Amino acid sequence: MSELKTGTFSVSDLENVQINIGSIVGAIEKTAAEEGEVGPTVKPNISGLRDWDYKLLERYNPVYTPMCDQCCYCTFGTCDLTGNKEGACGINMEGHNAREFMLRVITGASAHSGHGRHLLHHLIDKYGADYPLKVGQTNIIAPNVQMVTGKKPETLGDLEGALSYVEEQLVQLLACVHVGQEGEAIDFESKAMHGGMLDHVGMEVSDIAQISCLEMPKADENAPLSEIGMGTIDSEKPVLLVIGHNVAGVTNIIDYMEDHDLTDKMELCGLCCTALDMTRYRTEGGDVPKAKVVGTLAKELKMIRSGVPDVIVVDEQCVRADVLREARELMMPVITTNDKIMYGLPDRSEDDIEDIIDDLKSGRDDGALILDFEKLGEVAPRLTQEMSKIRKEKGVVSLPTEEEFNELTSRCVHCLTCELECPTNLPISDAMTAAEEGDLRPFEILHDKCVACGRCEQACPKDIPVLNVIEKASQRVIREERGKVRVGRGQISDPEIREEGVNLVMGTTPGIIAMVGCSNYPDGTKDLYRIADEMLRRNYIVLMSGCSAMDLGMYQNDDGETLYEKYPAKFQKGNLINVGSCVSNSHITAATIKVAAIFAQRNITGNYEEIADYILNRVGAVGVAWGAYSQKASSIGTGCNRLGIPVILGPHGSKYRRALIGKPYEEDKWKVLDARNGETMDIPPAPEFLLTTAETIDEMMPMLAKNCIRPSDNNMGRMIKLTHYIELSEKYLGIMPDDWYKYVRNETDLPLARREEFLKKLEQEYGWDIDWNKKKIVSGPTSKLDVSAQPTNVERLCKEA
Amino acid sequence: MADVSKNLKVYTTYGPKSARGTKPAIVAKMIEKAKRPLFVVGSEVLEEKLLARAQAIAKKGIPVAATGHSIKGFIDEEGVDAKYINIHFLGSFLCDPKWAGLDDNGCYDLIILLGHKKYYINQVLSGLKNFSDLKTINIGKHYTQNATLSFGNVTPEVHLEALDELIDNL
Ligand code: SF4
Ligand code: SF4
Ligand code: SF4
């Protein structure tokens, strides 16, 4: 048959003709090219951005802290790699740990893009491949997709190509994990970066698809507020609890409830990102959220053990493996709705709705797999109403009674086994003693710090259900757990970037603090509030997502306001934004990409390296994943890292076993080129790391300010950033930082109110030459202030390199 | 008859190499023998009774790397040479023979640890165990497998007693 060239053509007056279209990739690529400039890395393969990764890794060295010194990947093993020894296949400890880190990253990326694929299938089925993508006021609908794949998607169908690319690359990366493939740590690291980059493409596909189809807020600074907390759930009503990340099936439940006038008659509530996405569903334009958020993964077992839910629906990701076993004890039927989690339940997708409801309410089955969302939409709410009656009649209770509670606390022999097993070594034994004496406060404090993992119960030689004891003791505080979270708004709009981009690059907005990730905090949930409040008062832009976004909404200030109520939600200094669920993290990287595209007019299409280089050197943004626990968090973070955004983790983050830390004392590492002429410029060590941990938030506060410093700051910007760094160090550590002088290029960089004091210090402690008549620095600084310099790490971007 | 059936229980493990148990007197001797010891404290050292002991150890002339926000407990303490550093950074620098130390006097040969979260310090120590020749001693109240030497799991009371004994021996 004849071959069609790219372009448009029309076919009319055909009869009895079958047209087969194989792939229209060429045509789409042409479209992208017609849009304008295309950079050198359209759909980069595994080695496509290796040079860039090597540049980053040369400055930011991988730091491995293995969690297991052995390897048991293949039947040559088990191999002892202690002390960086080699295993039977020749891989050493560094290589093995880099391999494991990469595996973690691509597992996370697969979870997001698998989720995206499922959603996309579902939405294309429902809305058609031509359904237009609508994400708000923007000309760059999908910055990550466009930057990486070189294409500007406009319809749901256009997203398929981006996702296919991600899937293909993930297979290639997974292949490298096989024994006898990659051997060097540095190339596993580069591959991990590749996986992280892919993750942001996969997340972006997932989120813009659902934003477009499910009437979610579209870059809306006025997105509504939703209720959050265990205390907001009315347990007198039938309660349907949803757990997971994929809102597809839940939308059918919400629709059914509305159509059947059930919305006020029962409670629909959720845990983890499904909860966040339920509140986004059909709230475009400010409508009230149709569900409540219970909280994060750390509330999963607590909520089930409360006995409040009548039915549980799970979809995918971050769902405990024992939900069915736990729920069974409490007569809560479990419906699984996604083939990633099926719990061994019978597939009832094809069965009659009445039969399914009968089998579940009679207790013949503990649960059902229902992959048909129409059916799910009807079964779940109807069953919830039935189960509520049945469970109330049977008087199903979960937590111990007062007497049982007293018996349990006195049964404790204070052997401390539970404390040694507890991931954070919480002081359970002392709390038992206090409770015996009638003081429940220690348990109430534990309740907030406990992530409800259940390990203590598994360990207790006296069979004390420790978590139930904690929860029983904490009923008072649980009732008070009521807050507000702003519904996820999705992208940052073009007009917002246009206004704020200049302030970010010059530094007059001191930086973006993006608080993302899960709830494995070292010291309870309130830390998030403290971080956000401090940084907002200092005019940083604070972006939230996922479980962190939820926990932030759990606290009120003295006026009874949550931070979401206190601070406006525009993308500008001193504002607080919730972008949305896990997959909405792509909008955080997207915002930085858009600064390069809109403010600096850089081409982003297929132009990863240049954009990452721009962000590393000019956009002061730091990610915080204070309670990161998941593989997804490692891929989100690594995607940020490749794009030049540093990330700080809480102390549990050390269990990711790999950090990327620079050495400020290696002076040759802190140099860049000036793109105007290719000359070398000294820069201060900022950011100092791409991935590290902090022990406490008091330690982290000054780290945040310091690592928002960028070579491009103008003097006003540097002065503002340095002021915050010094002030936060003084406030939280009680000291003047000992490296503050490295960030001073001339006297105008010094905090205005304390200029004289600091000039004196520079003269006396660091031997700098000061002209006291003019109050000017004569000599001393290593880096120079030149506002028109164009810092870059990429030689080819220099004019006369 | 030798009883070989005792103490075989392993809880969770990092691998075949485990810290040997140690006593205050031995720790004191090792500190005395070391050329460049470094006392690395974490934020949990700020608890009042522990802090008094940590300051006393520091005053014996051992430089302090104050990690987390523990530096708050060492400011303006006479006879204490303490500097703030992030422990993940410190773990990285300690594996680098080119690092000149917190005071530019060269790298260290003995690391003594106190007041850290058990899981956190075990990770940092895992890096040192696998990628450096440094000797590390944890004198906290939790046994940490990845140190070279460690106190066992002890109650807070026994722990304070052990620290007092160590101070007396220094
Ligand atoms: S993959 Fe290599 S190090 Fe691991 S068990 Fe096999 S031979 Fe040993
Ligand atoms: S393990 Fe059980 S008996 Fe031992 S301290 Fe903990 S709760 Fe008490
Ligand atoms: S359930 Fe809570 S108290 Fe028990 S081990 Fe887990 S975190 Fe610790």
Q: How far is the CA of A304 from the centre of ligand 2 (A)?
A: 23
Name the closest residue on chain A to residue B12, using Cα atoms: A421
Those of residues 105-134 in B touching chain A at CB distance below 8 A are: 116-120, 123-124, 126-127, 129-131
Q: Is residue A82 part of a domain?
A: yes
Whether residue A689 and residue B89 make contact (CB cut-off 8 A), yes or no, is: yes
Contact A80 B142 (CB under 8 A): no
How far apart are the CA of A429 and the centre of ligand 2, in A?
A: 6
> Where does a domain end: A213, A248, A263?
A213
Asked whether B86 and A703 are in contact (CB, 8 A), the reply is yes
Using alpha carbons, list the distances in angstroms from residue A689 to A16, A723, A743. Answer: 64, 21, 16
Asked if residue A125 belongs to a domain, the reply is yes
* pLDDT at residue B153 in the model: 87
**Burial of B41 from C-beta contacts in 10 A (0-12 / 13-18 / 19+):** buried
Q: Which residues of A touch B123 (CB under 8 A)?
A: 65, 67, 654-655, 657
**Closest by Cβ to B68, choosing from A67, A689, A695:** A695
pLDDT at A327: 96
CA distance A84 to A64: 10
Residue B13: band (very low, low, confident or very high) from pLDDT cuts 50, 70, 90: confident
Interface pTM, i.e. ipTM: 0.96
Measured CA to CA, the distance from residue A95 to residue A184 in angstroms comes to 5
CA-to-CA distance for A484 and A550, rounded, in angstroms? 8
Of B16, B69, B100, the CB nearest to A732: B69
The 10s digit of each residue's pLDDT in B98-115 is 999 999 999 899 999 999
Task: Identify whether A722 is part of a domain.
Answer: no
Which amino acids bring their CB within 6 angstroms of ligand 1?
Answer: A 71-74, 76-77, 79, 87-89, 91, 179
Tell me if A654 and B88 make a contact (CB, 8 A cut-off): yes
Residue B71 and residue A692: Cβ atoms within 8 Å?
A: no
Per-residue pLDDT, averaged over B155-161, amounts to: 92
Rounded CA Rg of chain B: 16
Nearest CA-CA partner of A367 in A409, A415, A313: A313
Residue to test with chain B: of A59, A61, A63, most B Cβ within 10 A: A63
For residue A474, tell me if it sits in a domain. Answer: yes
Distance CA A761, CA A759 (A): 5
**What is the C-alpha separation between B88 and B104, in angstroms, rounded?**
19
What is the pTM for the complete model shown?
Answer: 0.94
Helix (H, G, I), strand (E, B) or coil at A524: coil
Examine residue A715 and state whether it is found in any structural domain, yes or no: no
Residues of B in contact with A82 (CB under 8 A): 15-17, 129-130
Query: What's the sign of the alpha-carbon dihedral A332, A333, A335, A339?
Result: positive
Say if residue A687 is preceded by a cis peptide, omega within 30 of 0.
Answer: yes
Look up tokens 């996922």; give the residue: A546
- For A166-192, write each residue's pLDDT tens digit: 999 999 999 999 999 999 999 999 999
DSSP letter for each residue of B79-133:
T--EEE--HHHHHHHHT-TT---TTSS---SEEEEES--HHHHHHHHHHHHHH--
Whether residues B129 and A83 touch (CB distance < 8 A) is answered with: yes
Q: Mention every residue, 6+ apart, whose C-beta is less than 8 A from residue B86.
A: A692, A693, A694, A695, A699, A703, B67
Distance A70 CA to ligand 1 centre (A): 9
Q: Which residues of B touch A766 (CB under 8 A)?
A: none
User: Is B141 a member of any domain?
Assistant: yes
Q: Tally the residues of chain A.
A: 801
| Domain total in chain A | 2
Spacing, Cα A400 to ligand 2 middle (Å): 17
Instruction: Return the DSSP state at A629.
Output: -
In a domain, A682, yes or no: no
* B100 lies in some domain: yes
Per-residue pLDDT, A17: 61
Number of domains in chain B: 1
> What is the β-pairing status of strands A311-314 and A267-271?
unpaired
| Cβ partners under 8 Å of residue A601, min gap 6 | none
A155 domain residue, yes or no? yes
Q: What is the pLDDT of residue A614?
A: 97
Phi, psi of A378 (to 5 degrees): -90, -45
Write the CA distances from A18 to A2, A14, A25, A77, A259, integer angstroms. Answer: 15, 9, 21, 57, 41
Residue A413 CA to ligand 2 center (angstroms) comes to 6
Stretch B4-16: mean pLDDT = 65
Nearest partner of A166 among A204, A198, A143, A195, judged by Cα: A198
Specify whether the CB–CB gap between A336 and A359 falls below 8 A: no
Ligand closest to the CA atom of residue A69 = 1
Instruction: Write the residue with the smallest CA distance to atom 6 of ligand 2.
Output: A418
pLDDT digits (tens, 9 = 90+) for B26-51: 999 999 999 999 999 999 999 999 99
Ligand 2 site, residue A415, Cβ cutoff 6 A: yes
> A26, A3 in Cβ contact below 8 A?
no
Instruction: Tell me how far CA of residue A140 lies from CA of A144, A567, B61, in angstroms.
Output: 9, 27, 60
3-state secondary structure A119-157: HHHHHHHHHCCCCECCCCCCCCCCHHHHHHHCCCCCECC
Residue B103 lies in a domain: yes
Q: Is the peptide bond before A78 cis (omega within 30 degrees of 0)?
A: yes
* Ligand 3 centroid distance, CA of A312 (Å): 23
A440 lines ligand 3 (CB under 6 A): no
Measure B157 CA to nearest chain A CA, in Å. 14
If one counts every other C-beta atom within 10 angstroms of the C-beta of residue B105, the result is 10
Q: Which long-range contacts (CB under 8 A, 24 or more apart) does A70-77 make?
A: A70/B15, A70/B16, A71/A96, A73/A179, A74/A179, A76/A179
CA distance A593 to A491: 12
Distance linking the first and last C-alpha atoms of chain B = 40
The CATH number of the domain holding residue A195 is 1.10.8.190
Interface test with chain A among B103, B123, B146, by most A beta carbons within 10 Å: B123
CA distance A69 to chain B (A): 5
- Predicted local confidence at residue A31, as pLDDT: 47
Structural domain boundaries, residue A70? 32-213
Residue where a domain terminates, one of A445, A479, A513: A479
Nearest CB among A80, A694, A732 relative to B86 is that of A694
Which atom in ligand 1 lies closest to the alpha carbon of residue A81?
A: 3
Q: Among A429, A445, A479, where does a domain finish?
A: A479
Q: What region does A454 belong to: left with phi over 0, alpha with psi -120 to 50, or beta? A: left
* CATH of residue B55: 3.40.50.1220
| Alpha-carbon gap, residue A533 to A511, rounded angstroms | 14
CA separation (Å) from B61 to A126, B39, B136, B167?
A: 73, 10, 18, 12
Contact B71 A735 (CB under 8 A): yes
Tokens of A105: 């990253």
CA dihedral A612, A615, A618, A622 (to 10 degrees): -140
Domain-located, residue A629: no
Q: Do residue B68 and residue A423 have CB atoms under 8 angstroms apart?
A: no
Domain membership of residue B125 as a residue range:
20-169
Instruction: Please tell me which residue of chain B has the smallest CA distance to A415.
Output: B155
Q: Which two tokens stand for residue A294?
A: 């219970």
Ligand that comes closest to the CA of residue A180: 1
Give, for ligand 2, the residue of A409, A414, A467 to mutate: max count of ligand atoms closer than 8 Å to Cβ. Answer: A414
A594 neighbors A26 (Cβ within 8 angstroms) = no
Residue B10 lies in a domain: no
Cβ–Cβ gap A66/B14 under 8 Å: yes
- Residue A21's pLDDT is 52
Q: Is B78 part of a structural domain of the chain?
A: yes
pLDDT along chain A (801 residues), means of 10: 49 58 47 70 98 98 97 94 97 98 98 96 97 97 98 97 98 97 97 98 98 97 95 96 95 97 96 94 92 93 95 96 95 97 97 98 97 98 98 92 96 92 93 96 95 94 96 93 95 96 92 94 92 98 96 93 97 97 97 96 97 97 96 97 98 97 96 96 96 98 98 94 98 97 96 95 97 96 90 92 49
Pairing of strands A79-80, B110-114: unpaired
Give which of B105, B65, B58 is closest to B84, Cα–Cα: B65
